Amino acid sequence: MDFSKEILKMKKEKNCVILSHFYQTADIQDIADFVGDSLQLSQVASETAADIILFCGVNFMAETAKILSPNKKVLLPEPEAGCSLADSCNVEDLKEFLKNYPDHTVVSYVNTSVGVKALTDICCTSSNAVSIIESLPENEKIVFLPDRNLGSYIKSITKRDMVVWDGACHVHEEFSVEKIIELKKKYPQAKVLAHPECKKTVLILADKTGSTAALLEFSKKDECRQFIVATESGILHQMQLASPQKTFIPAPPVDSTCGCNDCKYMKMITLEKVYNTLKNESPEVIIDFDLIEKAKKPILRMMEMSK
């Protein structure tokens, strides 16, 4: 069966919009209506006129879509598509942690569960994290969670008083500094692009640090012809589509046989699963209404501050 053809046919019949994160495989990105990072996809989810949102990403992203469009049917092809970063901060541990910081503003990365968002004052993404923090009063005390690398990066730029939760993404945590240096020797003209979830030792090597969308935009506009890319390898598909004349090299993790660094959760979604999900309109994302109302506030505040 030609799953792509059937999916494209069905989504029109059912008035379904398919959202794909940059880290999905190329075949899924190619059948999506919108491909983007967390902030871009959140904005689309809040504005779409579709009856069904089929989210090709991990579960916290589908939850965010449901929070922003509670009256729409939100589908996630693989409910087990979790997130190591979101899992590093659970609700009960966070409740205990926040008892030590009662006078702090809680800023949480969008890579968190709906329960964690409900304990948050403002959400952010890697696209807007620095501007969100800088928009707060200079004397504001802040708890930032859950990514220690992104938090450290924000602190280095903003110089703000921030307590940072000790969590990390398994993909961005594992890039090898030594192997990136080896690639630089092999491709001396190449520029290094790095996501701020990477360790500081990797960011020091970067010519450009930014969100996935920012790295894509930089690769389009910069005159360099070769790039070493230190983020999940799915973004290379969009980079190559936008700049076919340029060379994009995935930065390898410490332990790798293929030379690339994939998110095992993102790659759990396949075209066949997308087809079956759309056909059966299941699995559906269901969230308690009261929890949606609590989690929506920090997301809407983020989106308002990002305009």
Residue 256 pLDDT > 70, yes or no?
A: no
Question: 72, 59, 77: which is closest to 7 by C-alpha?
Answer: 77
Q: What is the CATH code for 3-81+266-286?
A: 3.40.50.10800
Instruction: Say yes or no: do domains 3-81+266-286 and 85-168+295-305 share a fold.
Output: yes
At residue 257 the predicted structure's pLDDT band, cuts being 50, 70 and 90, is very low
Q: What is the pLDDT of residue 301?
A: 95
Is the pLDDT confidence value at 178 over 70?
A: yes
Query: In the structure, what pLDDT confidence band is assigned to residue 259 with cuts at 50, 70 and 90?
Result: low
Q: Are 24 and 56 in contact (CB under 8 A)?
A: yes
* 85-168+295-305 under CATH 3.40.50.10800, yes or no: yes
**What do you get for the CA distance between the two ends of the chain, in Å?**
43
pLDDT at position 255 is 67
Long-range CB pairs of 185-192 (<8 Å, 24+ gap) are 187/226, 187/228, 187/247, 187/249, 189/224, 189/225, 189/226, 190/224, 190/226, 190/227, 190/228, 190/247, 190/249, 191/222, 191/224, 191/226, 191/227, 191/228, 192/227, 192/228, 192/230, 192/251
3: which 2 tokens?
Answer: 């799953």
Q: Which of 211, 161, 244, 279 has the alpha carbon at shortest distance from 41?
A: 211
Distance CA 44, CA 240 (A): 24
pTM to 2 decimals?
Answer: 0.92
CATH match of 175-250 with 3.40.50.10800: yes
User: Rounded to an integer, what distance in angstroms lies between the CA atom of residue 177 and that of residue 172?
Assistant: 12
Predicted confidence band of residue 195 (pLDDT cuts 50, 70, 90): very high
Domain range list for the chain: 3-81+266-286, 85-168+295-305, 175-250
Q: Is the pLDDT of residue 190 over 60?
A: yes
Among all chains, which residue has been given the structure tokens 């991990």? 58
Alpha-carbon separation of residue 274 from 7, 49, 119 (angstroms): 8, 20, 32
Percent of the chain with pLDDT over 90: 91
pLDDT digits (tens, 9 = 90+) for 30-83: 999 999 998 789 889 999 999 999 999 999 999 999 999 999 999 999 999 999
Secondary structure (3-state) at 6: helix
Helices 38-47, 289-305: inter-axial angle, 10-degree rounding: 110
Q: What tokens does 41 get?
A: 């996809």
